[in-house]
Amino acid sequence: MGKANPYGVYDPTANEGWVSVGVDHDTAEFAVESLRRWWAHMGHARYPMATQLLVTADGGGSNGSRVRLWKVALQQLADQSGLDISVCHFPPGTSKWNKIEHRMFSHISMNWRGKPLISHEVIVNLIAATTTEKGLKIEAEIDTNIYTKGIHVLEEELEKLHIERASFHGEWNYTILSSA
């Protein structure tokens, strides 16, 4: 079957989630593409008047606070969507506090427990069939895009970012401003 990388977006206000199941590498571009797909399929319809998006993210991995490509790809999303994107990274070692783990991925894990994950279709269907008594709903989709590992972001590209860093831990808390 190959790889299956689930990357999720959880909306605590609506108790809804989106999971992109990637078949290639878990990169910053894949993470931002997952946000893009959530916005296109769920977020924009629920929040049509939104001008800003708040993203809480782990401190490491494909959406880590030090990942240059994450910020460059977020700038592209901000420019395409017209949204200012504020990011608050969890400090190192605290990703267990991220609501997506407790309110979404834990239920996905329970739903597919003991079931053979024999194809991407099975994985997507099991994720999308995950619900809770509190009304959690999840949409899922396969992402067949190819994501290149090891893309190097030059200093000149970083200088083009429209980024405002928060006064408190600006390395973890910042806003990517739309230039649209």
pLDDT tens for residues 143-158? 999 999 999 999 999 9
Query: Per-residue confidence at 177, pLDDT binned at 50, 70, 90?
Result: very high
Domain of 10, in residue numbers? 5-176
* Total domains present in the chain: 1
Question: Does residue 109 register a pLDDT over 80?
Answer: yes
Question: What SS3 class is residue 89?
Answer: strand
List pLDDT tens digits, range 37-78. 999 999 999 999 999 999 999 888 899 999 999 999 999 999
